[in-house]
Structure 1
Amino acid sequence: MVEFLSDPAAFAAGSALLGWTSRKPLSRPGSHGFYRFFAWEAILGLVVLNRATWGIDPPSLHRYAGAALLAVSVLLVAAGLLTLRRHGRADAERGDQALFGFEKTTQLVTSGIYRHIRHPMYASLLALAWGAQLQDPTLAGAALAAVASLFLWLTARTDERECLAYFGPVYADYMQRTRRFVPGLF
């Protein structure tokens, strides 16, 4: 049996919440939100798998690295959301019903954290996945973190296609100047 299913109630409750939150994107297979749901599910599995050991086991290098990634995750999502809210000009009239309100930007955001990476919130989820995995590294956890990473890559690629369709050549130029997740790397 998969280890994260050792607490099926927690996993089921989290999955129900994620499913409800993602109901519109899930009705549009191929949208970035569709792939994001599966990344969220893998991350939920990691959190359920490792939550019992957080703060209990003795300090170790992998726990410190995991804690650093969890802190980076919080910083990235905060920077991304704040910048989007300040500069994105979200408008409910933007037609895609599968988008969350803050995603309905009508102006391309290239300042703040977005000056350096295109997807700080997906990078945040990558840091969260690997930070959770490092709290109690296991083969099952590594597999879940890898699945989350794959789905986050698919999410970002699909989001980029959607942004190219909405913003056009200005987004293509932006893609040439920035990296997807980590400045200067990838």
Structure 2
Amino acid sequence: MVGDPPAYGLWFLALVNAGIFILFALSFFKPATARDWRSLGAFSAFIVALFVEMYGFPLTLYLLAGWLGNRFPGLDPLSHDAGHIWPALFGWSGDPHRNPFHLLSYVLIGAGFWLIASGWRVLHEAQRAGALATTGPYAHVRHPQYVGFVLVLIGFFLQWPTLVTGVMLPILLVMYWRLAKQEEREIETAFGDQYRRYASDVPAFLPRLGRLFKTKEGQIE
């Protein structure tokens, strides 16, 4: 008789998945400065913590097993599907990969990696020209790559919430905010009034919805 495949203890799978997403971020973000490497390092720590619990050791499920078992008698608290948690909390049945939180996570993760990649291309071209990056995603937010990292982190948290990543997420949000402010001071020193005009017109992190449907050409002079 063949037993059910193990839900956890799949350390090789955890390593491979973490490595794939970290390499994706590395290839899209292309860190060049110490600040870039701190950004990528924080992201990588979150990803490792996520996949360790997803495939290796389900710390969150062990800690919450009693509560989940009492609150949801039909749920096996240590099954792999239980790790998604959100469907159980909201009473959704069926395949957890098709619940609204999981589907939204795909959108956020895809959008985040797109922002990281497209932001890097614009920034790289601007740096080569010695100019201020103001086109592409930079026409809508001043820090598209940081926004991209945050979207990916939130997407993964919606897909597989854990106690560790739940603690890490707000810490990383503050860290990215502080890195962005440090970056802005350096850019303002380099570009002066040109950057101040750009910063007064373009939000730091949340785009103005009306501008998302308009194409902004050229750079701010």
TM-score, normalization by structure 2: 0.57
Query: Of the two structures, which has the highest relative contact order with CA contacts closer than 8 Å and spacing of 6 or more?
Result: 1
**Identity of counterpart residues, as a percentage?**
26
Q: How far does residue 134 in structure 1 lie from its aligned partner after superposition?
A: 1.1
Deviation track 1:93-138 (CA, whole Å, cap 9, x = no partner) reads xxxxxxxxxxxx6210111211111111111100111111111123
Is 1:123 aligned to residue 147 of structure 2?
yes
Query: Who is 2:169 aligned against?
Result: 145
Q: How far does residue 46 in structure 1 lie from its aligned partner after superposition?
A: 4.5
Distance change in 2, residues 1:120/1:170 (3 Å): same
Is 1:40 aligned to residue 43 of structure 2?
yes
- Once residues 113 and 141 of structure 2 are traced to their aligned partners in structure 1, the CA distance between those partners, rounded to angstroms, is 16
- Once residues 114 and 24 of structure 1 are traced to their aligned partners in structure 2, the CA distance between those partners, rounded to angstroms, is 19
SS of equivalent residue, structure 1 residue 110: coil
- Point out the structure with max Rg over C-alpha: 2
Q: Unpaired runs of 5+ in structure 1?
A: 1-5, 26-31, 91-104
Is 1:157 aligned to residue 181 of structure 2?
yes
1:88 to 115, 119, 126: 126
Deviation track 1:69-116 (CA, whole Å, cap 9, x = no partner) reads 10111221222122224x4042xxxxxxxxxxxxxx621011121111
Contact kept, 8 Å, 1:46 with 1:132, in 2: the verdict is: no
- Once residues 49 and 177 of structure 1 are traced to their aligned partners in structure 2, the CA distance between those partners, rounded to angstroms, is 42
Q: How far does residue 140 in structure 1 lie from its aligned partner after superposition?
A: 2.4
Query: Who is 2:100 aligned against?
Result: 61
Figure out how many residues of one structure are paired with residues of the other and give that number. 154
Q: CA RMSD in A?
A: 3.5
